[in-house]
C-alpha cells in the first residue's frame, strides 16, 4: 500500500477579510478522491467501516494510524464511480470534511481552519453556502463545518492514543495480500500492518482487561474481522474490469 496521497491541493486559512465573498458549492461528487487507494480512519468509524471495507494500520516505525482500503492498486479508488458518485455504503469522515481541514502551528499548540482553495466548488458567485455574511461574521454553514472539523480532531487524538497502545504492546505485524487480476496473473498489496491474534491472546490478563475497558479490544476485533472484505473487494474490482463496455 502506497503512502497516503493528500487530497488537498492548496489549503489556505479561512479569513473574513480574504474570504468575505467566498461560497462553497458541495454536492455528491467524490472525484477529488478517485486516485487514492486508502484514507485515514478514526476509531469511532470502525463499526460502520468494517461492514464493507478492510481496516488496516499504515505508517512507519512507532507512528501508525488506521486506514481504510479503497483500492488494490496505486491511484485506484474502487468506490468512486466514473461520474464521481460514491458507491459504498459508508463514506470516511476524512473525505466528508473536505474541503476543510485543520492545520497546526509550528509548535502544534494552535489549530487553524483551512479550506482547499482549488476545490471545484469554491466560488465568488454565491453558489452554494457562503462562508461569511455581509458583515464579515461566520455563517451557520461555516460554524457547522468548524464544529465537524473540531470533532474530527478530537477523535483523531483518541485514535492516536489507541495506536500508541497497540505499538507499546507490540501487537502489529507487517502484512500483505495477493489477489488475482483480470486476464490472468497475480498482484499484491503491501506496506501495511495488522493486529496479530496470537500476540493479542498472549497479552497478560491485566492488559486485556484494560483494553476491554477502553474499547481498544473491540476495535481490534472489528479490524481483524474487516480483513475478510479484501477478498470481496478484489472480486468486485475484477468483475468491474471484466464487464463489457459500450460506446454511446
A 10 A CB-CB count for 42 gives 23
- Report the predicted TM-score, pTM, of the whole model to 2 decimal places: 0.88
Q: What is the pLDDT of residue 3?
A: 30
Q: What is the pLDDT of residue 241?
A: 63
The 3-state DSSP class for residue 228 equals coil
Q: What is the pLDDT of residue 213?
A: 96
Q: What is the pLDDT of residue 76?
A: 86
The values of phi and psi at residue 50, to 5°, are -65, -15
Distance (Å, rounded) from C-alpha 126 to C-alpha 176?
Answer: 48
Contact yes or no for 68/54 (Cβ under 8 A) = yes
What is the mean pLDDT of each successive set of 10 residues along the chain, which is 248 residues long? 61 95 92 94 98 94 93 88 94 96 74 94 96 96 96 96 97 87 70 95 97 97 95 75 46
Distance (Å, rounded) from C-alpha 73 to C-alpha 37?
Answer: 7
Amino acid at each position: 500500500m502506497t503512502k497516503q496521497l493528500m487530497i488537498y491541493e492548496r489549503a489556505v486559512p479561512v479569513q473574513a477579510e480574504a474570504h468575505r465573498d467566498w461560497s462553497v458549492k458541495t454536492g455528491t461528487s467524490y472525484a477529488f478522491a478517485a486516485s487514492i487507494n486508502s484514507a485515514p480512519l478514526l476509531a469511532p468509524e470502525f463499526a460502520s467501516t468494517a461492514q464493507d471495507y478492510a481496516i488496516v494500520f499504515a505508517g512507519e516505525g512507532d507512528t501508525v494510524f488506521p486506514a481504510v482500503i479503497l483500492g488494490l492498486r496505486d491511484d485506484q479508488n474502487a468506490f468512486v464511480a466514473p461520474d464521481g458518485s460514491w458507491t459504498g455504503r459508508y463514506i470516511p469522515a476524512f473525505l466528508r470534511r473536505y474541503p476543510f481541514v485543520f492545520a497546526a502551528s509550528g509548535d502544534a499548540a494552535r489549530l487553524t481552519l483551512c479550506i482547499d482553495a482549488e476545490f471545484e466548488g469554491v466560488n465568488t458567485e454565491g453558489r452554494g453556502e457562503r462562508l461569511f455574511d455581509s458583515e464579515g461574521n461566520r455563517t451557520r454553514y461555516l460554524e457547522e463545518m468548524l464544529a465537524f472539523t473540531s470533532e474530527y480532531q478530537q477523535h483523531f487524538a483518541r485514535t492516536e492514543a489507541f495506536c500508541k497502545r497497540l505499538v507499546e504492546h507490540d501487537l502489529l505485524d507487517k502484512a500483505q495480500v495477493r489477489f488475482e487480476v483480470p486476464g490472468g496473473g497475480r498482484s499484491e498489496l503491501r506496506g501495511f500492518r495488522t493486529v496479530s491474534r496470537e500476540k493479542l491472546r498472549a497479552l497478560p490478563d491485566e492488559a486485556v482487561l484494560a483494553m476491554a475497558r477502553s474499547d481498544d479490544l473491540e476495535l481490534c476485533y472489528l479490524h481483524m474481522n474487516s480483513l475478510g472484505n479484501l477478498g470481496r473487494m478484489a472480486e468486485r474490482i475484477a468483475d468491474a474490469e471484466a464487464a463489457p463496455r459500450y460506446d454511446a
